[in-house]
Amino acid sequence: MLDSIVIDIAIPILGGIWALIQGSNWWRRRVSRKTKKALKIIRAAIGYVWKTYYRKEKKANKKAGTSVPVSTKEHAMKLAVSQAVKLGNMVGIDILSIFPIGIIQETIESQIKRRKW
């Protein structure tokens, strides 16, 4: 009798522990996918800003014989962040809930350094 009570208690507890472990793996994969999508969106936003804004500014400054002003670079950064948020909203991903604004800006800066703007 005592054995059946122990078994009746142990099986649901072990089942719950197993479900928590499996659930946490599922959650980790889900968060990882969202993070990867968010990074792709940020990169797409950088490319968009490069094509539509920064490249034109860079060409204009090159013709004038000057370098791109810091204010233009800062404005491009703001445009990239806002574009990333817009693109994320279009596909149903809240970029700002996945990454804080500082991380988004650091990601954009690292991508810019890679592209040698």
Tens digits of per-residue pLDDT, 68-106? Answer: 788 888 888 899 999 999 999 999 999 998 888 888 888
Which tokens belong to 13? 């507890």
End-to-end CA distance of the chain: 76
Percent above pLDDT 90 for the chain: 16
Which DSSP symbol is given to 99?
A: S
Q: What are phi and psi of 116, to 5 degrees?
A: 60, 55
If one compares 23 and 58, the residue with the highest pLDDT of the two is: 58
Q: What does the pLDDT average to over 54-80? A: 85
pLDDT at 27: 62
What angle, 0 to 180 degrees and rounded to 10, lies between the N-to-C axes of helices 70-91 and 101-115?
Answer: 120
Q: What is the pLDDT of residue 84?
A: 92
